[in-house]
Structure formats: structure tokens, C-alpha cells
Amino acid sequence: MLTAILISTDPALGSVLEELAVLTGQVSFRQHFEKFPSRYELARVLNSYQPELVFVDLGRWEAAIELTGWVRQHDTKIAVVGFGDRLARQFGAQYADAGLAAVLAVPFEYQEFLQAVDDAIHKVRAKVQPNLLAFLPSKAGSGCTTTVLNVAARLAGEVGQRVLVLEADLHSGILPDLLHARDTCFMRDALEHAAQIDSPSWRRYTVSREGFDAILADRAKKAPLPTWIDYYHLLGFAASRYDTILVDLPEVVNDATVEIVRRARQVFVVCTPEIPSLALARQRLAELALRGAALSRAAIVVNRWHASDLSPVEVSEGLGRPVAAVIHNDYRTIQRAILESRPVHSDTRLGRAYLDFARQLAGEAPAAPETGKFSLRRLLLGSTA
């Protein structure tokens, strides 16, 4: 939940906004001014509650703009949402120039309130989180989770980083099984309390394995449903505590996990070299774009690759995104590691592939892609190229 301050000289409008805040469960108004406060009063409240949002009545335009300036001078990370009559929609550019992050016009609607909150927060805080990397499977069974697990182990081991793994596949996550970690708080618990997490409570939600921390999914627990705000708080708290945060996502980005792909430094679509998996990788990229994720930050991980398969170059050409890593197929090695509840040893060929990828993520140059004889562009697009 986001903390907010409400400044409304119209009791009716203020009441509607307070009702919407309760209904959505996304905003908590900590202070309601029924008249415009002095600069001193405003600063005192901002210092006391440290809100993410300030809602200001646009009925008194000059006073509203002056107050918006005070808020922005106090902290540029506070988003100001203006609200007023129907004319508010007609002068959006003027309001933006005045420093407002979003505008709500009467009659206030549930979805418009949610959208205004989303727009406002991401206008003032829409920065890429440099240590956040998201992994998205093209389809179930692509090996996304084992890739995340093994890359995390190599980053924490040979590379020497502080690493956090977040299992965001809340319905099908298997990391508790792979890591033999069941006696713990789980991801839904952490998300539910993300706005209140502090250093002492953080250890309740994380488990430590193979040198890295993880917050795991509990498939049996189906509620509460998280929102993007829960991920916003969780990622914000973890950002300064780790060198790298790896997120294991489900196939489809939803209204909550969209926060991860919007702020990730890179999103890796993990696929295998078979045409069905590659076709779905193309679909995942399209879905990322529809969700507002920058495709310039998306790349492909080709898993279970053989030398006779489509080459990384052709995978890249067919999907229109670079191939960041190629993980060779070694069923026996990966199964042995799973049975022994450990990552793949780094002295194996498969382990070296994970280590190379981990080093690349830590800043080293990627290896040159291999070549092959097939055309993915022709197979996926029907091209003769």
C-alpha cells in the first residue's frame, strides 16, 4: 500500500477519494487537509509520513500549483496527483508542465483512480533498477527455474556477489523442492508485508542456499493476491542489499509482475531450440511490449541446445532480439544435480555455461555466438531469406 496525503477543499470530492482508496486497497491517506496548508505545515506532514503521493484539489489553481512546487522542492520522488472537474482532462499538458504527475477528473471511477496512481508513481520513479534481472520462460518446461538457480549459484560463488532470487511464479514455483527449503515464510507473505519490511524482519522471509538468498513460492497458498505495489515495495527494499536480484517469472506477465519487467535492467526470455518454444518466445516478447516493458532491454536465453539445432545467430534473427546465452543440453548432469539438491558443478561443460553467463551478467563481455545451417526466420515467418 502507498502512503498519501490528501488536500481537498471540497468535502464531497475528498470523501469519494477516501472511499476509492479503501476500495482499491492501494492507497492509505495519512492526512486529510480540508484547506491548503502553509508551507511549514506541509513540510511537517511530509517529513512525518514520507508519502509516495500527494493528492491536491485543483479548484484553486494558483494555490494548487504553488503547493505542487513546494512538494517537488521537498522531494522530487513524491508524485502529485491533481483532481478536479471535467476540464481537468482537457488541459493535461498544462498540468504536466506545472509538475503534476497525473490528473483525475470527476466523476472519479475505480479504474481511473488505479491508473492515476500507477501513472503518477511511474512518472516520478520510472527508473531502471540496475541490479534487477528477470527471467521469463517461453513455455512451461523451458528450464527457466534451473537456469536462475544455477546462475545465482555461480554469481554468489565464483563471481563473489551478494545475490537474491525471487520466485515470482506463485502457482507453479518449484524452488522449495529443488532447494529442500519448506520451513520458511514464502513469497506471498513477503509481498503482503512488503511495505513494512525492515532489516530485522527481512531474514524471516529469506532462505540461504549455495551462498545466495531466496524468497520462495508456496504453491499451496493462493491468497492474498499481490499487486504491482507489493513488488514495488519489495524490490525497493532489496535494491540496496544485493549486487544482483534474479526473478523467476511465470510465462505470462500479470498486473502484479508487470512492475518487475518495467524496472528490470534486462528481461531474459528462456526458450529451447524447438519451433513451438521459439514461437512462444516471440509471443512473450510481444506481451512484454504490450505491458510497457522496453524490448531494447529484452534478450533470449537458448536452453538445452545441441550443435545440430538452430544456431544462436538464427534464433536472434528470427526473434529480433540478441541471444544472451546458450546453455548446452546435458540431461544427465542436470538431473543428478536436482536429485542431490544442488546446482550443477562448475567444472562440467554445463556448469561452465552457467558460469560464463553469470560472468557476462556481472559485466564481462559475452562469448561470440555459434553458427548453424537452419533459418529460424524462414521457419517462423515463412521467409525465403
What pLDDT digit, counting tens, does each position of 73-117 carry? 999 999 999 998 765 556 666 777 788 999 998 888 999 999 999
Looking at residue 106, its pLDDT comes to 86
Which residue, of 79, 95, 125, is where some domain finishes?
Answer: 125
Looking at residue 88, its pLDDT comes to 58
Quick one: 162 and 308 in the same domain?
yes
User: Contact 256/226 with Cβ under 8 angstroms?
Assistant: yes
Quick one: 93 and 176 in the same domain?
no
Which residue, of 73, 95, 125, is where some domain finishes?
Answer: 125
Which residue, of 103, 125, 147, is where some domain finishes?
Answer: 125
Quick one: 145 and 95 in the same domain?
no
Looking at residue 380, its pLDDT comes to 52
With H, G, I as helix, E, B as strand and everything else as coil, classify residue 186: coil
Looking at residue 274, its pLDDT comes to 92
Q: What is the edge-to-edge ordering of all strands in the sheet holding 79-84?
A: 27-33, 2-7, 53-57, 79-84, 102-105
Looking at residue 373, its pLDDT comes to 45
User: Contact 356/367 with Cβ under 8 angstroms?
Assistant: yes
Q: Round to whole Å and give the CA distance between 51 and 78.
A: 7
Looking at residue 92, its pLDDT comes to 60
Quick one: 162 and 85 in the same domain?
no
Looking at residue 371, its pLDDT comes to 44
Quick one: 350 and 285 in the same domain?
yes
Quick one: 38 and 116 in the same domain?
yes
Question: Half-sphere exposure of residue 298, counting CA atoms within 13 Å on the CB side?
Answer: 26
Looking at residue 91, its pLDDT comes to 61
Looking at residue 238, its pLDDT comes to 96
Closest alpha carbon to 54 in 25, 80, 17, 26: 80
Quick one: 8 and 140 in the same domain?
no
Q: At 24, phi and psi to the nearest 5?
A: -75, -30
Quick one: 177 and 46 in the same domain?
no
Quick one: 374 and 269 in the same domain?
yes
What's the total number of domains in the chain?
2
Quick one: 31 and 95 in the same domain?
yes
Looking at residue 370, its pLDDT comes to 45
Q: pLDDT below 70 — which residues of the chain?
A: 86-93, 182-183, 364-385
- Per the confidence metrics, is the pTM higher than 0.85? yes
Angle, helices 349-361 vs 144-156, to 10°: value is 70
Q: At 219, phi and psi to the nearest 5?
A: -65, -25
Q: Report the CATH number at residue 32.
A: 3.40.50.2300
Q: Round to whole Å and give the CA distance between 228 and 256.
A: 4
Quick one: 194 and 305 in the same domain?
yes
Q: Report the CATH number at residue 218.
A: 3.40.50.300
Looking at residue 372, its pLDDT comes to 44
* Triad 114, 81, 97: Cα angle to 5°: 125
The range of the structural domain enclosing residue 289 comes to 129-381
* Residue whose grid cell is 470523501: 15
Looking at residue 125, its pLDDT comes to 86
Looking at residue 87, its pLDDT comes to 59
Quick one: 64 and 81 in the same domain?
yes
Closest alpha carbon to 243 in 132, 341, 321, 81: 132
Looking at residue 338, its pLDDT comes to 86
